[in-house]
Structure 1
Amino acid sequence: MQQNRNIVYSVVVPLYNEELVIEESYKRLKKVMDAASEAYEIIFVNDGSSDRTREKAENICGEDENIKLVNFSRNFGHQPAITAGMRVSSGEAVVVIDADLQDPPEVILKMIEKWKDGYDVVYGKRFQRKGESFFKKFTAGAFYRILKSMTSIDIPVDTGDFRLIDRRVCDVLNSLPEKNRYVRGLVSWIGYRQTYVEFVRQERFAGDTKYPLKKMFKLAFDGITSFSYKPLIFSGYLGGISFFIGIIMLIVNFIKAAANGLNPVNFQFVISIDLIMFGIVLSCMGIIGQYIGRIFDESRGRPNYIIESIIGKRGEQKKI
């Protein structure tokens, strides 16, 4: 798609079953971007929503020439939706923000200030999270810190995909061919001048979270396996430690048996050793299997998503 370099800001908003929040999200985003006083576009990416999200987004497109709607052929996921939005964007700066209003659109103006100061990436850093359970806060905090400790690149903690990136960073991201994309990790891997603005993460405006525990685990594993080989190294250490523990247990058992005149081989000893060894082997196979699965995904060459249509310019539709 030919880019319009007259657009200064592109705001990418992934949508999945956001019928309860999309209109309010649009109003707040429009107010913020109008305040920026420069040309902008808001790109809604409909990730195969099954409610009235598409209908409402199309109505907004029909009323506002600054809005563009990208419709997927089905649900492909949050990270592919962000990727698609970046690839159809035209702005000199690209902002990624979710529609649920937990990340306040008003923070975008602070990001723009940092960008104009010369930074290529400005990410939002949460110093407080409202309306989330202790379990959610604990698991999120633990994940960010485990990921940071396991990778060789500096992935900031307490951050999500809410960020502003310069056009040259966006172009580099768009050129990367990998399939299992962990966008916030890729942005850190690319480098350039990066900084942050702090904000309070709000409660969801309406509806349910689109990242239940299952998807959170998937995102976490994508992040770890995309940027770290340490799980493979850890599994090797675990196997070595288990081997030496087994040898020590065997020697101790023989010494005790010799001292007491007992048979060193007994049922409980054999079962415990089998359980330990099988547990380690299976866990290591699971970790290795994740990496092999990622190699398989890359080798198939399938696209991350399929665009059904792009709607813009007051409802004008282009089928893909």
Structure 2
Amino acid sequence: MNPRQSLTIVVAAYDEAASLPLLHPRLQAALDAMPDVDGRVLYVDDGSRDGTWEVMRGLAAADPRVSLLRLARNFGKELALTAGLDRVESDAAVVIDADGQEPPELIPQMVARWREGYDVVYGRRSLRRGEGWFKRFTSAAFYRVMEKLSPTPIPRDTGDFRLIARPVLDALRGVRERQRFMKGLFAWVGFRQIAFDYEAGARLAGRSKFDFWRLWNLAIEGITSFSTVPLRVATYVGVLTALLAFIWGVTIIVRTLAWGNPVQGWASTMTVILFLGGVQLMALGVIGEYLGRLYLEAKQRPLYLVADAVPAAADPPGDPPAGL
């Protein structure tokens, strides 16, 4: 490595006008604790509806190490994070959420592990403050389900908080799928990775933008992006249902030949019809999820659109900005 490395902290934000002024001093302190690192902060505004962009501009005006990127609309956290990482030209990047639940004070420790030769240093939550039991339970269940379904080993209880070295950033730039599950992509690219445990705190301000519905959709995104097991399960259910139907049909034939064919009840007939119809619709839904992703990939639209970009004032004129 070079004697003086460069580092960009990437923060994707959506309606976080209240949190960013509280988070930024902690990011400044983390960079100041590493005098041998050329540090920058890149804020990505994911189409916020409140005053997030104005707050970001104020932070950039007060701190020459801050660069900004504003997307044309809300593309979602995964694509906002992709937009930020695409513009990092430094030796490494640190991804951290805008809500302050992930401690920036740990960034120097991440840099130390990077200097030991690791390409990805990711945080693993040992404690989640400020979250209800239901969210903690469903999050833990999701990672354990993914562990069983996906051939790509996705570490348990990890968020986006991690340091990513230059080779990994270059590898991620070559992955341009539209339906993105970044936690899976970070694991998929491989390289030398190491975990460290930390305690996640409560939000600095406001409420989480990820309600149950968004978390559910993110889980579906992760499963369908990194596993074809649901398709296989639909196949197995169809085969099993067909086998049961064949056995039931043989039973009816034998019973009719032996004892005649008395008229059966309406309730049992409707139960069988509804059961088979439900299985078919479920299988079609699973197939539709994968087909829909193929449709989005086939259109080849840009992953995101940039409305505005502000380079860091500390970047020399004519040189590529550290964060853009």
**TM-score, normalised by the number of residues in structure 2:** 0.91
1:279 deviates by 0.5
- CA separation in 2, counterparts of 1:192 and 1:80? 22
CA shift in 2, pair 1:155/1:243, >3 Å: same
Instruction: State the partner residue of 1:138.
Output: 137
Residue 178 of structure 1: CA displacement?
Answer: 1.0
Q: Provide the C-alpha distance between the structure 2 equivalents of 1:110 and 1:253, rounded to a whole number of angstroms.
A: 70
- Structure 2 Cα separation of the partners of residues 258 and 135 of structure 1: 55
Residue in structure 2 matched with residue 52 of structure 1 by the alignment: 51
**Alpha-carbon shift at residue 260 of structure 1 (Å):** 6.6
Segment of structure 1 superposing worse, 169-178 or 256-265: 256-265
CA contact (8 A) 1:7 1:92 kept: yes
**Offset of residue 245 of structure 1:** 2.4
Distance (Å, rounded) in 2 between the aligned partners of 1:232 and 1:120: 34
Deviation at 1:269, TM superposition (A): 2.4
Q: In the alignment, is the contact (CA less than 8 A) between 1:122 and 1:194 conserved in 2? A: yes
Per the alignment, in what secondary structure is the counterpart of residue 263 of structure 1?
coil
Cα displacement (A) at 1:47: 0.4
Query: d(CA) in 2 for partners of 1:264 and 1:239?
Result: 28
Task: Note if 1:23 corresponds to 2:36.
Answer: no
Q: Is 1:312 aligned with 2:306?
A: no
Aligned partners of 1:123 and 1:195 also within 8 Å? yes
Q: Percent identity?
A: 36
**What is the CA distance between 1:248 and its match in structure 2?**
3.4
Q: Describe the SS at the equivalent of 1:124.
A: strand
For 2:244, the equivalent position in structure 1 comes to 245
Shift of 1:127: 1.1
**Shift of the alpha carbon at 1:261?**
5.7
Structure-2 residue corresponding to 1:11: 9
1:209 and 1:257 map into 2 onto residues whose CA distance is: 62
* Alpha-carbon contact 1:15-1:44 (below 8 Å) kept: yes
**How much has 1:7 moved relative to structure 2?**
6.0
Equivalent residues in 2 for 1:155-304 (5 A)? 155-252=154-251, 263=262, 265-304=264-303
**1:91 lines up with 2:90 in the alignment:** yes
**Counterpart of 1:154?**
153
Q: Which residue of 2 aligns with 1:3?
A: none
Q: Are the aligned partners of 2:65 and 2:314 in contact in 1 as well (CA < 8 Å)?
A: no
Q: For structure 1, which runs of at least 5 residues remain unmatched after alignment?
A: 1-5
Structure 1 position 123, deviation (Å): 0.6
Off by >6 Å, runs of 4+ in structure 1:
256-260
The aligned counterpart of 2:125 is 126
Task: Return the alpha-carbon distance in structure 2 between the equivalents of residues 280 and 90 of structure 1.
Answer: 50
Aligned mates of 2:25, 2:80 — CA distance in 1: 21
Comparing 219-228 and 42-51, the one that deviates more: 219-228
Per the alignment, in what secondary structure is the counterpart of residue 74 of structure 1? coil
Matched, 1:34 2:32: yes
Paired residue secondary structure (1:8): strand
Q: CA deviation at 1:258?
A: 6.9
Checking the alignment, whether the CA contact within 8 Å between 1:231 and 1:287 is kept in structure 2 is yes
The number of equivalent residue pairs is 314
User: Matched residues in 2 for 1:132 and 1:251: separation?
Assistant: 54
Distance in 2 of aligned mates of 1:262 and 1:176: 62
Output one character per residue of 1:89-126: Cα deviation in whole Å (capped at 9) or x when no partner: 12211110001011111122221111111111111001
User: Does the C-alpha gap of structure 1 residues 266 and 105 become closer, same or farther in structure 2, counting only changes over 3 Å?
Assistant: same
- Say whether residues 1:106 and 2:105 are aligned partners: yes
